[in-house]
Amino acid sequence: MAITIQVLNSILEFNDTCASENRSLFEKNNTYVVNLMSSPGAGKTTLLEKTLERMGPEGVAVIEGDIQTTRDAERLARFKIPIVQINTGAACHLDGQMIRNALKELDLSRIRLLLIENVGNLVCPAEFRVGEHAKVAVLSVTEGEDKPLKYPLMFRESCVCVLNKIDLLPHLDYSVDEVVKNARQINPHLELFPVSCKTGEGLDAWIHWLGSKMSHA
Amino acid sequence: MHEMALAQNILDIVLDAARRHGAHRVRRISIRAGRLRGIIPEQLQFCFGFVAKDSIAEGADLSVVTVPIKARCKACGREFLVEEFKFICPDCNDPHVETLQGLELLVENIEVV
């Protein structure tokens, strides 16, 4: 005879436990952690390059997530900071356990800012906490104003959206007001920073935000 | 998306619960998934069928209840169902709302023999 057993287990419990443990380590070491997410090619790695150029490498580390290659880590190697490259092989997102394993290669006591560059994907990374203090979405102006509406979880979970490639605006039929309106519909608290990693326009506001978060960590 | 990773987690939870109750076979698994999770039930069933092969949960039916997104307006207290991901109070138009439901993702119960 069939019986029903109440289970009531969160499916993401294991991941959330790893994420909480990671977070405890970050708190203990006074390390501020940002989880940088976007679709492929929006400019995450370039944003990291520009961020490191402006902030300097002191006390900064990066965890790079890609399905394959170490190209992103290689691009950042010139800054001579601790970098851990995770190749997921097939997984479309980083999760708490992957970050936990990566942390074994880092001395958090010397790291004030840890930037995690997630796998290029606007869907799955938003689902998986890794212990970060802030999720930051990078959206480029070539992706259309409707993306916040199409990927609501990403934009609801993020506290900042860096709107990249604004140097291309003269060549596009794109309304920054429209993307801001759409993003704020999903998340009224979302801070948007329109930037051009190419020209440097708008980057000061992003750097300032990062700096303010680190000093309050 | 990522239903495969979730299917594996579901299998681990289900097998653990079944083992603890001395069950021989899992017939049915009830899942509650909030709409914000973007779970596609058919994909989840497919992925689960794949990972559960050769286990006592092989062939189990996955029943997914999708929970609508509900929010509460922080300004006027009105609770409402969020349509089309518009997180704006229908009464006072205030956008500062807290999500009450829609982010759940759990194995509620299993039917075993």
% of chain B at pLDDT higher than 70: 99
Q: What is the pLDDT of residue A127?
A: 87
Q: Is A212 on the interface with B (CB under 8 A)?
A: no
Mean pLDDT, residues A38-44: 93
Q: What is the pLDDT of residue A51?
A: 97
Instruction: From residue A205, give the alpha-carbon distance in Å to each of A160, A210, A211, B29.
Output: 11, 9, 10, 49
Mean pLDDT, residues A154-169: 96
Q: Is the pLDDT of residue A217 over 70?
A: no
Mean pLDDT, residues B16-24: 95
Confidence band (pLDDT; 50, 70, 90) for A64?
very high
Note whether A7 contacts B107, CB cutoff 8 Å: yes
Q: What strand order describes the sheet that includes B70-73?
A: B79-81, B70-73, B97-101
Q: What is the pLDDT of residue B1?
A: 56
- Dihedral angle over CA of A54, A60, A66, A70, nearest 10: 90
- Kindly provide the ipTM of the predicted complex, given to two decimals: 0.84
Q: What is the pLDDT of residue B38?
A: 83
Domain ranges of chain A: 14-216
Mean pLDDT, residues B7-29: 95
Q: What is the pLDDT of residue A124?
A: 86
Across the interface, of A8, A123, A188, the residue whose CB is closest to B108 is: A8
Q: What is the pLDDT of residue A71?
A: 87
Pick the CATH number of A14-216 from 3.10.20.30, 3.30.300.10, 3.90.1150.10, 3.40.50.300: 3.40.50.300
Six token digits for residue B51: 């990972």
What is the average pLDDT value for chain A, to the nearest integer?
Answer: 93
Q: B29, B88, B107: best mutation site toward chain A, by most A Cβ within 10 Å?
A: B107
Domain ranges of chain B: 3-112
How far apart are alpha carbons A210 and B73 in whole angstroms? Answer: 30
How far apart are alpha carbons B43 and B2 in whole angstroms? Answer: 9
How far apart are alpha carbons A202 and A166 in whole angstroms? Answer: 9
Six token digits for residue A149: 């509406």
CB burial string A122-143: b at 16+ within 10 A, e below: bbbbbbbbbbbbbbbbbbbbeb
Across the interface, of B18, B23, B85, the residue whose CB is closest to A149 is: B85
Q: Is the pLDDT of residue A214 over 60?
A: yes
Q: Is the pLDDT of residue B31 over 60?
A: yes
CATH topology of domain B3-112: hypothetical protein PF0899 fold (3.30.2320)
Q: Is A156 on the interface with B (CB under 8 A)?
A: yes
Note whether B17 contacts A5, CB cutoff 8 Å: yes
Confidence band (pLDDT; 50, 70, 90) for A90?
confident
